[in-house]
Amino acid sequence: MNATLGATRDALRIDSLTKHYTTGDHRIAALDGASLDVREGTFTAIMGPSGSGKSTLLHCAVGMDRPDGGSIVVDGIELGDLDERELTEFRRERVGFVFQSYNLVGALTAAQNTLLPARLARRPLGREDALKALDDVGLRDRADHRPHQLSGGEQQRVAIARAVLTRPAVICADEPTGALDITRGRQVLDHLRAVVDTQGRTVLVVTHDPAVAARADRVVFMTDGRIVDEIDAHDGGRLDTGSIAVRMAGLEES
């Protein structure tokens, strides 16, 4: 599957992360000492029941939310050491995002949407760079189309091109196929997989779908704000959808 599975460098290290939310008189632990290392050049999926803390972990891991305790190191940078301005710059320069809702700007073309993070980060990238990124996801001929002229799967592939363009340390995707049918979802997964296999990028995906998780090199399972189990692919093998579904069912029943 992925030739870089033997890589030893961690793109992301999370240690003993805690995060609490207050609702009325209740204090809820969204993260309760979660720890996770993600190797550079790998595809990792995070699964767990609703409310297990998987999206909170993802958002904290890339500086979209601040944890209450613990440490996060991305590409050698300790996020806890950054102020808000530095954290904003970090997200622009070192993290790519792919969301379920695409988050494209309706007034911009596919090429302009692809370039947007680079523009905000003042990176010296132009239209040809955007066209190359769109070509990698099979959308060069749709470069001048606006989001309303694209299918959901095409919009998500633009989001992948946008996330990859600046060559970030980590690409994060939160339920990237959740709004898509099976065929378009499979296309999106193929492109995320290719980002790892052909470009050596590091991808971290939150999903509830065992078929999505089975495309990863590793699946980690969460419950009650902690990582409690994992499955790894070894020696170029593929993860089994059925085994992942059984693990998930066990967590949901416990």
CATH code of the domain in which 122 resides:
3.40.50.300
**How many domains does the chain fold into?**
1
In a domain, 1, yes or no: no
Instruction: List, for residues 94-114, the tens digit of each pLDDT value.
Output: 999 998 888 899 999 999 999
Burial of 181 (C-beta count, 10 Å sphere; 0-12/13-18/19+): exposed
In a domain, 7, yes or no: no
In a domain, 154, yes or no: yes
Decide: 98 and 173 in contact? Cβ < 8 Å: yes
Structural domain range at position 146? 40-64+85-253
In a domain, 25, yes or no: no
In a domain, 94, yes or no: yes
Helix 110-120 and helix 127-136, axial crossing angle in degrees, nearest 10:
120
Decide: 69 and 18 in contact? Cβ < 8 Å: yes
One digit per residue, the tens of pLDDT, for the chain of length 254 reads 444 444 458 999 999 999 999 888 888 899 999 999 999 999 999 999 999 999 999 999 989 999 999 999 999 999 999 999 999 989 988 999 998 888 899 999 999 999 998 888 888 889 999 999 999 999 999 999 999 999 999 999 999 999 999 889 999 999 988 888 888 888 889 999 999 999 999 999 999 999 999 999 999 999 999 999 999 987 566 888 999 999 999 888 76
Contacts of residues 75-82 at CB distance under 8 Å and 24 or more positions apart, as own/partner, are: 75/11, 75/12, 75/169, 75/170
In a domain, 14, yes or no: no
In a domain, 192, yes or no: yes
pTM metric for this prediction: 0.88
CA 254 to CA 241: how far, in whole Å? 20
Coil, strand or helix at 193: helix
In a domain, 104, yes or no: yes
